[in-house]
Chains A and B, each alone.
Chain A
């Protein structure tokens, strides 16, 4: 158990809908990363927050947004969903900084039908 909690574990929704994925980081971790992993593909970096502030953005679509709340949990919002958005979405947390390892949650498997 990495200490990072993601909910829900599985989500099935229709095209055009909006969903929210939730991530609770490890206790004491200020940094949260979001990744998208399509079937048998690599980990695509989406966005990163540190202590409530957005710090880095990757290839995140405009239909996707995220935020980190004062209690440090984070949410990833995906809207106007398309079939191609079906993927495993991982959240990872770390203490921040170059030396800090990232701990991954078990992921949310999103299926868009």
Chain B
């Protein structure tokens, strides 16, 4: 089941904040966040695990609400380099079935 991301696109000025949401109709065990610049491969940003453990990225943070089956990615004081498409992925439950299924993406454009 593909997670649903919102918004689909957002345009900001440099220095503004952004929030990207990711929702799942199934229970979440782990949430992965990736950023893809046009014509390039997706790059890992962050993993959030059930139980609150978080790995990630210096200037970008995220939350994971297990009850609501949602995750949100927070980009504060955005920089031009933050432009790209952000994907959330609902991750595997350990060493068993290992689907990593991504949402449809959120296109973020940062203007000077």
Q: How far is the CB of B89 from chain A (nearest CB, A)?
A: 8
A71 to B43, CA, bound (A): 25
Q: Is the CB of B41 within 8 A of A90?
A: yes
Which one of B10-18, B75-83, B92-100 contacts A?
A: B92-100
Is residue B102 contacting chain A, with contact meaning CB distance below 8 A? yes
Q: Is the CB of B98 within 8 A of A96?
A: yes
Contacts of B40 in A (CB 8 A): 106
Tally of contact residues, A, Cβ under 8 A: 27
Contacts of A77 in B (CB 8 A): none
Q: Is the CB of B93 within 8 A of A45?
A: no
Is residue B74 contacting chain A, with contact meaning CB distance below 8 A? no
Instruction: Identify B44's interface contact among A31, A33, A43, A103, CB under 8 A.
Output: A103
Is residue B87 contacting chain A, with contact meaning CB distance below 8 A? yes
Q: Is the CB of A97 within 8 A of B102?
A: no
